[in-house]
Amino acid sequence: MTSAALVSPRLYGVFAASVLALFAASLVVGAGSGTAALLLPSRLPRSLAALLAGAGLAIAGLVMQTIARNRFVEPSTVGATQSAGLGILAAAVFMPEAPIVLKMAAATLTALAGTALFLGLARRLPPTQPLLLPLFGIVYSSVVGAALTFLAWQADLLQFVEIWMNGEFSGVVRGRYELLFAAALMVALAWWAADRLTVAALGPAVATGLGLDLAATRRLGVVIVAVVSALTVVVVGALPFVGLVVPAMVSRLVGDNLRASLPLVALGGAGLVLAADIAGRLVRYPYEIPVGTILGVVGALVFLWLLWRGQHG
Amino acid sequence: MIVVSNVSHRIGRAPILTDISLTLEKGGVTALIGPNGAGKSTLLSLIARLTPLQAGTITVDGLAVATTPGRTLARRLAVLPQDSAIDARLTVTELVGFGRFPHGAGRLTDADRAIVAASLQRFDLGDLAGRFIDTLSGGQRQRALVAMAHAQATDYLLLDEPLNNLDMQHARALMRTLRELADTERRTVLVVLHDINHAMAHADRVVALKDGRIAADGPPAAVAVPDVLERIFGYAMRVVDVDGDPVVLHHR
Amino acid sequence: MADRTTVSGSDAAGTSATRPVEAVFDRRMALLLLVALALSAAYMTVSLRGNIAFALELRAIRLVALWQVAVAVAVSTVLFQTLTQNRILTPAIMGMDALYLLGQTALVFLLGGLGYAGLDPALKFAAESLIMTTMAATLFAPMLKGRTDMTLMLLTGVVLGILFRSLAALLARLIDPNAFAVVQSVSFADFNTLRRDLVWPALAVTALGTAVAWRARHLLDVAALGRARAVGLGLDWTRTVPALLVLVALLVAVSTALVGPVALLGLIVVAGAERLIGSRRHARLLPAACLVGISILVGGQLVLQHGLGGASALGIVVDFAGGLLFLALLAGGRR
């Protein structure tokens, strides 16, 4: 809101250029490289999907951290991802022929409910221990995940759960990934509400004093988180920790004024997922490693680092 | 004008405030004093609609705080809450800039920027303007938060124990600034204070609460009387006259 | 605050010292034993058909394995909670079973699917246990110094668990598809296809571990008072505690080797046992936790096998129920 001028324009330039370079690399790297026949129907959708999902998830993480006032939460640790899985499972069981948009709607609804339930339960936690919230969130997520596994197993759809819960871009093709452009819409929505979200992060008393409708802002935030989670789970599968890692890094660089940091978070998320996807294609060439697996390792390492830095000093 | 009529409040079953009625005319510094648990902060929070009203009414310039949109109220009344621990990484300038939030939805106008700059200067934050607030000392952060409330440019300024975390020098500076705001900018200041001598030295009016009721109300000279003070705080204390100002020897 | 805990602590110790020591085997314990035995008998006999001798032998081996898992989980959780003075922690929550999984995958990765399959199970088990014990000791050393923030440790453990699982998944992707199938078979809690080849070698470890824990029951009561007080009462903390921690690692290795990760079973078992017998005294808590564990595992297996379609789901149900319990404990602030 105030001085985005504090952030040097060069930083935005560096981020944008990196994402562009990664995007270009993503178009040409991998098995059967370089043929034009592969480029349009497969590589372009794949790279766009990684870009959009990464940006969306990083923003969802940022928004979640802002409304929960806690740096250690993100969609996959507040049950949003797993609840979205419940929605698609329900759609797959009760309306298997439904178009993907309807399944997406079902996933969004359950993600909304799951995230709202988490925030409701989280209010019972003592606010003095900030680490209790992510701990609670991770276990809450695994409980929802266990419910998902059990129901899927009853419905004999277990193999789909594995696909939904572990993101992979190799299956991305035209006709399906376009849904992810809605993630860009959510990024725009977050940008539009950036000042309100930052004020919400100042705490209920200050926010109320400044005349913010805190409840409405929280609702908006939950919608952004739920829609992005549902989108990624439906189209590419869960990508853990993107929403945790990227906002944390950007916060260290430029602080928490969303008006200044939000574009960097979106670019950072896009870059991280593109890079992880490229790495997944190269590590065991010509086979592919799912991007969700790589992000799980990288994300958990960064999570540990975030937890322990500053604990000894 | 702030009008508090027949306000009662309880937390659980414990009565915090009982049938409080109070009128604050525009202008001047009013200090709210009283022992711990007397209900000072609760009363301030109710006026600033940080805590929902349970019984009674409160109006600010005729606007009922319970029903007026938050943003409308935020243009008339700014509040410094007691526990405003902020762990967001914002620079001092950014934080003070959010004081302009109620006045516009988008980017800061030049006029906004001028107001922010004036607030920074008024609270002696020029050197700290670019620093992240999580790198400041408790006292510096407190000053930044007061500056934010100031930048809200409201007629009414409510502060809940603003001298917490401040050393003597900065406590004095803040009280003098509040006095100055009332005198030169015609602001109405309502401040919860623990230090009774700050209240006596800088306020035009002192309202004392005890057990959720108003125990004394009047100019400092009328409250700084041993009998009255003993009634409020429960023990006898001497009041001496130093160059015409009452000084309470509450610590002896 | 500190003063109050001291008073209540010494008070509790005082009363239990002055009043006649409550019997280890009372009516509640008898009831628990009865339930465990009845469920086991039912497990052996319900809808038995075909080659009865063969079926009985198969079920007997499974029953022994289930008992073992129950006992190993119960004892390791009780020990771990006592040593860390915390009722929410279980070794599995701290990532220990994920660590085992990672070790398995690493072995397949290094030796290949065939080499892994060709390993002598007892030898493999010994090697894995050794690795796990070493790593566990490294991970939990700071915790036992008792200076760190418990929530931080819990969260660290949980995230470590995620890290180990993700690493295992990554390694699994790096090995060839055939070997991958081997890894997958060990990475889910599966009570139906438990590892029969390991039942007997593991039995030795379980029996030994349980015996050691039982002998140490009075020592554990003292350790539960906290490091400072335990040392004050003459407990050799620096020697006893690491030894007990090795025991925990071994027992976790047993249960994970037999059925795979059962992350939250220990939490349910110990919290349930404590509630049922109303005591934290180890002479009662240890046997009660074992009996509750047996009842849950054998009973759950029985119900799922003959009722809700199939036994492999028990692990998921345990995860679900245990997760709910964990959330309740967190929100209730019982630490």
The average pLDDT across B11-18 equals: 91
DSSP states of B218-231: E-HHHH-SHHHHHH
Give me C220's structure tokens: 């554990």
Which residue of C159, C174, C323 is in closest CB contact with A303?
A: C159
The confidence score (pLDDT) of residue A74 equals 94
Contact (CB, 8 A) for A71 and A306? yes
pLDDT per residue, tens digit, chain A (313 aa), is 444 445 678 999 999 999 999 999 998 887 665 566 667 778 899 999 999 999 999 999 999 999 999 999 999 999 999 999 999 999 999 988 888 889 999 999 999 999 999 999 888 887 777 888 998 899 899 889 988 988 888 888 888 888 888 888 888 877 788 899 999 999 999 999 999 999 999 999 999 999 999 999 999 999 999 999 999 999 999 999 999 999 999 998 999 999 999 999 999 999 999 999 999 999 887 788 899 999 999 999 999 998 888 554 3
Cβ of A205 under 8 Å from any chain B Cβ?
A: yes
Q: How far is CA C165 from CA A145, A294, C136, C276, in A?
A: 15, 12, 16, 34
List the alpha helices (DSSP H) in C19-51. Answer: 27-45
The confidence score (pLDDT) of residue A34 equals 56
Which residues of C are less than 8 Å from A294 in CB distance? Answer: 170
The confidence score (pLDDT) of residue C327 equals 83
- The residue type found at B232 is I
Q: Which residues of chain C have pLDDT under 50?
A: 1-20, 334-335
Which residues of C are less than 8 Å from A147 in CB distance? Answer: 320
**Cα-Cα-Cα-Cα dihedral sign, residues C191, C197, C199, C203:** negative
Q: Subunits that touch chain B (at least 3 Cβ pairs < 8 angstroms)?
A: A
The confidence score (pLDDT) of residue C9 equals 37
Which residue of C163, C170, C331 is in closest CB contact with A294?
A: C170
Contact (CB, 8 A) for B159 and B146? yes
Picking from B143, B148, B200, the residue whose alpha carbon sits closest to that of residue B166 is B143
Q: Look at B108 and A251 and tell me if their CB atoms are within 8 Å.
A: no
The C-alpha of A173 sits at a distance from chain C's nearest C-alpha, in angstroms, of 23
Cβ of C313 under 8 Å from any chain A Cβ?
A: yes
Picking from B208, B252, B244, B249, the residue whose alpha carbon sits closest to that of residue B226 is B249
Angle of the A9-28 helix axis to the A44-68 helix axis, nearest 10? 140
Question: C109, C166, C190: which to substitute to probe chain A, counting the most A Cβ within 10 Å?
Answer: C166
Which residue of A142, A294, A304 is in closest CB contact with C159?
A: A304
The confidence score (pLDDT) of residue A15 equals 95
The C-alpha of B105 sits at a distance from chain A's nearest C-alpha, in angstroms, of 8
Cβ of C127 under 8 Å from any chain A Cβ?
A: no
Q: How far is CA A132 from CA A23, A71, A147, C152, C221, in A?
A: 38, 12, 22, 8, 28
Quote the CA–CA distance of B120 and C87 in Å, as a whole number.
50
Token pair 């900030």: residue: A130
Sheet holding B55-60, edge to edge: B14-24, B2-11, B55-60, B63-64
Quote the CA–CA distance of A75 and A238 in Å, as a whole number.
10
Contact (CB, 8 A) for A175 and A46? no
Contacts of A309 (CB under 8 A, 6+ apart): none
- Using an 8 Å CB-CB cutoff, list residues of chain A that contact chain C: 72, 121, 124-126, 129, 131-132, 134-136, 138-140, 142-143, 146-147, 149-150, 153-154, 166, 240, 283-284, 287, 289-290, 293-294, 296-297, 299-301, 303-304, 307-308, 311
Which residue in A has a C-alpha nearest to residue C163's C-alpha?
A: A300
How does DSSP classify residue A88? Answer: H
- pTM of the predicted structure, to 2 decimals: 0.85
Q: Quick check: ipTM above 0.85?
A: yes
The confidence score (pLDDT) of residue A232 equals 94
Which residue in B has a C-alpha nearest to residue A215's C-alpha?
A: B70
Q: Look at A307 and C156 and tell me if their CB atoms are within 8 Å.
A: yes
C237 burial (CB, 10 Å; 0-12 / 13-18 / 19+) is middle
Beta partners for B159?
A: B80, B191
Which residues of B are less than 8 Å from A195 in CB distance? Answer: 98, 101, 105-106
Give me C240's structure tokens: 């006893």
The C-alpha of C133 sits at a distance from chain A's nearest C-alpha, in angstroms, of 21
Cβ of A313 under 8 Å from any chain B Cβ?
A: no
Question: Cα C220 vs. chain centroid, distance in angstroms?
Answer: 17
Rg, chain B, Cα only = 18
The confidence score (pLDDT) of residue C13 equals 40
Quote the CA–CA distance of A78 and B5 in Å, as a whole number.
44
Which residues of B are less than 8 Å from A208 in CB distance? Answer: 48-50, 70
